[in-house]
Amino acid sequence: MTQVTLKELGYRLPAEWEPQEAVWFAWPTRADLWGERNARVKEQLVQLYVLAARFQTVRVLCPKSAQAGLVEKMEAAGDCSRVELFDYETDDVWCRDYGPLFLLSEDGSEVCIADWQYNAWGNKFPLQSKDNAASEWIADALDLPSVAFDWVLEGGAIESNGMGQLLSTEVVLLNPNRNGKVTKHTVRNELEAGLGIDEILWLEDGLVGDDTDGHIDNLARFYKHDGILYAEASWPEDPNYEALTENTQRIQNFRTAKGRAYSSVPMPLPKAIEVDGEPLAASYMNYLVLNGAVLVPTYGQPDRDDEALEILAGCFPDREIVGFDCQDIIHEGGAIHCMSQHQPAVKM
């Protein structure tokens, strides 16, 4: 008997700008994360939780043993009345990639969780079992229906316009370090069944220095159903120039479901940030959309930071655009979007 797919049941992967019930984060408990920057990053995460709670409910995976200390820090930072703590310890903070992918029913009245496998971006890091189990735990904690998949898929690898189209990269979804040797056809069938999508719009490569191999949330994002914001390298000397130029050409050839060209908006990269001569995958594309706001990573580069904020203000004119310093956070390879997972709201 053929199993009924989530698409056949009428579920879809909503766009991030649709109304949200909450946004999820994971509190870091490992002392080896960020090295000498660990304490400073924790203070920044406290500020991030309190900031996000200005706009909606914030839910944080945090073991009981660390909750009192976190609450004390948040109360000192501001109003944390909309921050809810959940007693779960993770391996790392990047819950965009191992957290649940929330799907909405066709009429918007129900949410279900698509629980994909997580293998730390192709088994690059051994500590991953707690992260991989987080989606199932959250489904139980929220008493939400959940469907488990054997396929490896990270949330940061996909970007939905809520209308059946998905942005992603060949360098991630076709990488044998996730699901062995696969084809675009196979990937599309898996994601169609499990996410309710109709089409994947493929970019090729990612940023130099990206541990994920090339997640889409550093490269290109839908800012409306028929609009794409994309990272651009302006100078041939930039090590990302060739890959981003190829991606730009592909974006210009993409078509909506109605056959129209996408509105497209370029976003510059920040100036190169390196650690011991190795580049970090810093990008303004790693922003987080909330109810009424967009939180944007900044990197201590006033001219480019301000330009990024201005561009995003044009893309999201009805939301408050708030810069958030990620100069320390980026040293572990990600920024605000990587750290978060949005939970869509249901229609009552």
Active site residues: 338
Closest-CA residue to 159 (of 329, 288, 292):
288
Distance between start and end Cα atoms, the chain = 35
Cβ neighbours of residue 315 closer than 8 Å, sequence gap 6 or more: 223, 224, 227, 229, 265
Q: Are 160 and 125 in contact (CB under 8 A)?
A: no
Tokens 């479901």 belong to 257
Side-chain half-sphere exposure of 288, counting CA atoms within 13 A: 33
- Angle among Cα 56, 110, 84 to the nearest 5 degrees reads 30
- Rounded CA separation 282/290 (Å): 21
Sequential DSSP letters for 260-301: PBPEEEEEEPPSP-EETTEEP---TT--EEETTEEEEEE-S-
What would the two tokens of residue 77 be? 């930072």
Tokens 């766009």 belong to 15
